[in-house]
Amino acid sequence: MQADYQLHGDVALITLNNPPVNGLGYATRVAAMEALAQALADAAVQAIVITGAGKAFCGGADIREFGTPMAFQEPNLHTLIAALEQSTKPVVAAIHSTVMGGGLELALACHYRVAAPGTQVAMPEVKLGLLPGAGGTQRLPRVVGVEAALNMIVSGQAVASERLAAIPGQSLFQRMSASADSLLDEAVEFARSVVAVRPLPLVRVLPCSHPQGDAYFQFVRNMLGPSSRNLPAPLQCVDAVQAATRQAFDTGLATERTIFERLMATPQSRALRHLFTAERAASKIPDVPPGTALRPVASVAIIGAGTMGSGIAMNFLNAGIPVQLLELQPEALERGVATMRRNYAAQVSKGKLKPATLEQRMALLRTTLRYEELAQADLVIEAVFEDMGVKAAVFQALDRVMKPGAILASNTSTLDLNLIAACTQRPQDVVGLHFFSPANVMKLLEVVRGDKTAPDVLATVMALAKKIRKTAVVSGVCDGFIGNRMVEQYLRQAGFLLDEGCSPQQVDKAMEAFGMAMGPFRMSDLAGNDIGWAIRKRRAIENPGMRYSPTADAVCELGRFGQKSGAGWYDYVAGKRDALPSADVAAAIAACRSALGITPRTIGAPEIVQRLVFALVNEAAHILEEGIALLAGDIDIVYLYGYGFPAFRGGPMRYADELGLFTVAQTMRRFAANPHADPGFWQAAPLLASLAAAGRTFT
Ligand code: NAD
């Protein structure tokens, strides 16, 4: 049963019971309707309390039903909400922990609401490109006022129940319980106190207006304008709430419904819903069962206190996990510690961190020059130079000193994890933890699974990723793993665009208008152009047939390594991040073009975007086919959190699906016919070709 039914004397208690968050899927709706009918049919029942089992009142609609006939299957959410509202006996919602979306809409249809302190209250639909579609835009403004309701609906952010209860004149909560533990008793007692009240109070009859009327809504639209350029939902939330102030309640509901259906059909909402599901799917690994016993991780050691090591350390300190940092030289340790303190101090000066918290975090950090001192750490993460010889020596040392069962991780970006694991007698304990720079900021963590990595090691690091607030995606072993392997092809294609006539600014502008956080050349300047240079030198030996534009090497030969050297694809003024066009780079590009014998042509933004995104997609198809990534959605998550791919496009795979893989394949064929194209580049990956031919999709 997905809803429990109990009698507390003359009060019936209905408990939604669909773990983890009591989502209102079909079976739960049926059970809730049956429980309600039972309470109404029982002459001994005078009032009804509805609550949720476990760690939520109700997390809302079941998103897996979105866009499927199941969402409409009766009793649908609207029917359940109407039944509660029309109950002839008073219904009290006893709200605790979390109440979101459809769960809040359900509570708003009850006659009364009693909430526990600390409850997180949210209408998060906008994050899926939608609006609350079961009366939320019409009822919430009637109980907390137009401004508070619109803020919640447009931002999707959770607000604590106490804050809402403090709004003057609010009628969202009739009572706050003394504690979460006393909630049910207090709700039952409250229900008894209102059994005789008639007519039953309904949110729908409350007035709804804003003192500034339409001018207020126009102000909100102006504020939202630029930030919602690519997302229709926020502005349409405003329309729906404005309708609540202008239309009769049922007309307002119909308006909300129309807008909801329109948003549901937008590519933006499809993209956001895809990412929501993909993110949850990424944390599950098919051959690692959910109940796998985890290894305890109470302390962490990090080898190397450079750019990555110091950033990685901060993640664990932030989560309250003690860290030991090991370096070769005391000066390197001092530099690393100073970097961390500086990063925290910057947060303090922005008011994002309390000075006392800074000290608490730094107090969890120990430094050492001796491996023996790390022996008892549960997890060690190596972040030394990207050199197989150096890494091999580090892993041999770790194998010698670390206690049995310790997890040995490498942050390598390109080296073969299986070779690293083979430097130890315990390859089952070795895993890749590929953080992205800056490691204390970027949300993505690629978890690299070696041939021998043990399932419980994988399960442990996936759980640990959540603890340090990273989104983890599992990758198999290959050069560059998922993200950097794809980006190499993206950057190669960006170079070809320069050869054929683009400037770096043009390419970056096109990609940023598409929605990327940064175009490829600004991104390279941030990451350091020397990284790509080293990779190209390695490729020249391993794979001499691989063609690159000569421009990137030319820029590096000028010593232009990017922001860190004060010049890269762009010029930089000291202390500023503004990327200024460079005459030297323009001259280098022109020289390369004439050496290649290419007469430059004007290339439009659509071609720039398609060539770069399809370069990602085609490599991703290889990655998927080889089993390096398990799901197309994993690749989209990597690009969302690691490379600034726009969420409203859903990631490269979802974007390709939205265009249609047949169209993608056709367009690639057209690109291949370009006389300056690298002959192999646009050869469609077998998976892409077969899906395109079959009219199927990646996701
Ligand atoms: P870095 O040069 O900033 O830092 C490396 C540190 O390791 C230095 O402080 C050095 O003194 C120390 N070190 C070298 N050999 C050592 C040894 N034997 N024992 C102890 N310490 C030693 O380099 P980084 O950018 O932090 O990169 C570290 C690793 O992270 C590399 O494998 C790199 O590929 C990977 N990585 C880098 C990035 C990035 O954007 N920089 C992103 C992801 C992964």
Evaluate the CA torsion angle 282, 287, 291, 297 in order and state its sign: negative
Pick the closest to residue 101 from 71, 63, 74 (CA basis).
63
Question: Is the minimum distance from the CB of 531 to ligand 1 under 6 angstroms?
Answer: no
For residue 67, pLDDT over 80 is answered with: no
Question: Is the minimum distance from the CB of 657 to ligand 1 under 6 angstroms?
Answer: no
Strands of the 365-368 sheet, one edge to the other: 365-368, 323-326, 300-303, 379-382, 407-410, 430-435, 444-448, 471-475
Question: Is the minimum distance from the CB of 59 to ligand 1 under 6 angstroms?
Answer: no
pLDDT (mean) for 116-143: 97
pLDDT (mean) for 2-14: 96
For residue 592, pLDDT over 90 is answered with: yes
Chain segment 407-431, per-residue pLDDT in tens: 999 999 989 999 999 999 999 999 9
Question: Measured in angstroms, how far is the CA atom of residue 129 from the centroid of ligand 1?
Answer: 40
Question: Is the minimum distance from the CB of 309 to ligand 1 under 6 angstroms?
Answer: yes
Predicted confidence at residue 64, as pLDDT, reads: 80
Helices 529-542, 481-500: axis angle to 10 degrees equals 90
Question: Is the minimum distance from the CB of 644 to ligand 1 under 6 angstroms?
Answer: no
Evaluate the CA torsion angle 460, 462, 466, 468 in order and state its sign: positive
Predicted confidence at residue 126, as pLDDT, reads: 97
* DSSP code of residue 232: S
Q: Lowest-pLDDT range, 184-188, 282-286, 448-452, 457-461?
A: 282-286
Predicted confidence at residue 682, as pLDDT, reads: 97
Tell me how far apart the alpha carbons of residues 346 and 334 are, in angstroms, rounded to a whole number. 18
Question: Is the minimum distance from the CB of 387 to ligand 1 under 6 angstroms?
Answer: no
Chain segment 517-545, per-residue pLDDT in tens: 999 999 999 999 998 999 999 999 998 88
| pLDDT bucket at 344, cuts 50 / 70 / 90 | very high
For residue 227, pLDDT over 80 is answered with: no
Predicted confidence at residue 577, as pLDDT, reads: 81
> Is residue 653 a contact partner of residue 482, using CB atoms and an 8 Å limit?
no
Question: Measured in angstroms, how far is the CA atom of residue 302 from the centroid of ligand 1?
Answer: 11
Q: Which ligand 1 atom sits closest to the C-alpha of 528?
A: 40
- CATH numeric code, 483-694: 1.10.1040.50
Q: Which ligand 1 atom sits closest to the C-alpha of 410?
A: 32
Question: Measured in angstroms, how far is the CA atom of residue 114 from the centroid of ligand 1?
Answer: 54
Question: Measured in angstroms, how far is the CA atom of residue 333 from the centroid of ligand 1?
Answer: 13
For residue 225, pLDDT over 90 is answered with: no
| Nearest CA residue ID for atom 15, ligand 1 | 384
> Is residue 78 a contact partner of residue 140, using CB atoms and an 8 Å limit?
no
Question: Measured in angstroms, how far is the CA atom of residue 391 from the centroid of ligand 1?
Answer: 10
| pLDDT bucket at 38, cuts 50 / 70 / 90 | very high
Question: Is the minimum distance from the CB of 438 to ligand 1 under 6 angstroms?
Answer: no
Predicted confidence at residue 234, as pLDDT, reads: 97
In order of 188, 301, 380, the CA distances from 402 in angstroms are 57, 10, 9
Question: Measured in angstroms, how far is the CA atom of residue 384 from the centroid of ligand 1?
Answer: 4
| pLDDT bucket at 640, cuts 50 / 70 / 90 | very high
Structure-model confidence comparison of residues 37 and 64, the more confident one: 37
For residue 576, pLDDT over 90 is answered with: no
The percentage of the chain sitting over the pLDDT mark of 70, rounded to a whole number, equals: 100
In order of 272, 346, 542, 580, the CA distances from 574 in angstroms are 38, 19, 38, 12
Predicted confidence at residue 574, as pLDDT, reads: 86
In order of 307, 362, 364, 371, the CA distances from 338 in angstroms are 12, 10, 15, 22
Chain segment 470-484, per-residue pLDDT in tens: 999 999 999 999 999
Question: Measured in angstroms, how far is the CA atom of residue 419 from the centroid of ligand 1?
Answer: 18
Per CATH, is 3-264 categorized as 3.40.190.10?
no
| Nearest CA residue ID for atom 25, ligand 1 | 307
Predicted confidence at residue 667, as pLDDT, reads: 97
| pLDDT bucket at 575, cuts 50 / 70 / 90 | confident
pLDDT (mean) for 171-180: 98
Name the segment(s) of the chain with CATH classification 3.40.50.720: 300-475
pLDDT (mean) for 433-442: 95
> Is residue 567 a contact partner of residue 560, using CB atoms and an 8 Å limit?
yes
| pLDDT bucket at 341, cuts 50 / 70 / 90 | very high
Q: Checking phi first, is residue 384 left (phi over 0); if not, alpha (psi -120 to 50) or beta? A: beta
Question: Is the minimum distance from the CB of 332 to ligand 1 under 6 angstroms?
Answer: yes
Pocket test for ligand 1, best of 413, 443, 484 (most atoms within 8 A of CB): 413
Q: Angle at the Cα of 329 (from 326 to 332), degrees rounded to 5? A: 75
Question: Measured in angstroms, how far is the CA atom of residue 438 from the centroid of ligand 1?
Answer: 13
pLDDT (mean) for 84-102: 98
Question: Is the minimum distance from the CB of 307 to ligand 1 under 6 angstroms?
Answer: yes
Question: Measured in angstroms, how far is the CA atom of residue 483 from the centroid of ligand 1?
Answer: 19
For residue 488, pLDDT over 80 is answered with: yes
Instruction: Tell me whether residue 105 is one of the annotated catalytic residues.
Output: yes
Could you tell me the two tokens for 521? 């050349």
> What is the average pLDDT value for the chain, to the nearest integer?
96
Name the segment(s) of the chain with CATH classification 1.10.1040.50: 483-694
Pocket test for ligand 1, best of 302, 303, 307 (most atoms within 8 A of CB): 307
For residue 173, pLDDT over 80 is answered with: yes
Question: Measured in angstroms, how far is the CA atom of residue 131 from the centroid of ligand 1?
Answer: 45
> What is the C-alpha radius of gyration for the chain, rounded to an integer number of angstroms?
29
| Nearest CA residue ID for atom 40, ligand 1 | 437
Residue tagged active-site, from 65, 85, 125, 327 = 125
Per CATH, is 300-475 categorized as 3.50.50.60?
no
Question: Is the minimum distance from the CB of 439 to ligand 1 under 6 angstroms?
Answer: no
Predicted confidence at residue 686, as pLDDT, reads: 98
For residue 65, pLDDT over 90 is answered with: no
Question: Is the minimum distance from the CB of 617 to ligand 1 under 6 angstroms?
Answer: no
Question: Measured in angstroms, how far is the CA atom of residue 485 from the centroid of ligand 1?
Answer: 20
Pocket test for ligand 1, best of 324, 334, 385 (most atoms within 8 A of CB): 385
Pick the closest to residue 408 from 428, 437, 436 (CA basis).
428
| Nearest CA residue ID for atom 4, ligand 1 | 306
Instruction: Tell me whether residue 125 is one of the annotated catalytic residues.
Output: yes
| pLDDT bucket at 62, cuts 50 / 70 / 90 | confident
| pLDDT bucket at 679, cuts 50 / 70 / 90 | confident
Question: Is the minimum distance from the CB of 390 to ligand 1 under 6 angstroms?
Answer: yes
Range list of β-strands (E), 69-226: 91-95, 98-100, 112-115, 120-122, 159-160, 175-176
Pocket test for ligand 1, best of 302, 308, 387, 482 (most atoms within 8 A of CB): 308
Q: Which ligand 1 atom sits closest to the C-alpha of 390?
A: 18
Tell me how far apart the alpha carbons of residues 190 and 162 are, in angstroms, rounded to a whole number. 18
Question: Is the minimum distance from the CB of 304 to ligand 1 under 6 angstroms?
Answer: yes
pLDDT (mean) for 303-325: 97
Residue tagged active-site, from 65, 105, 327, 382 = 105
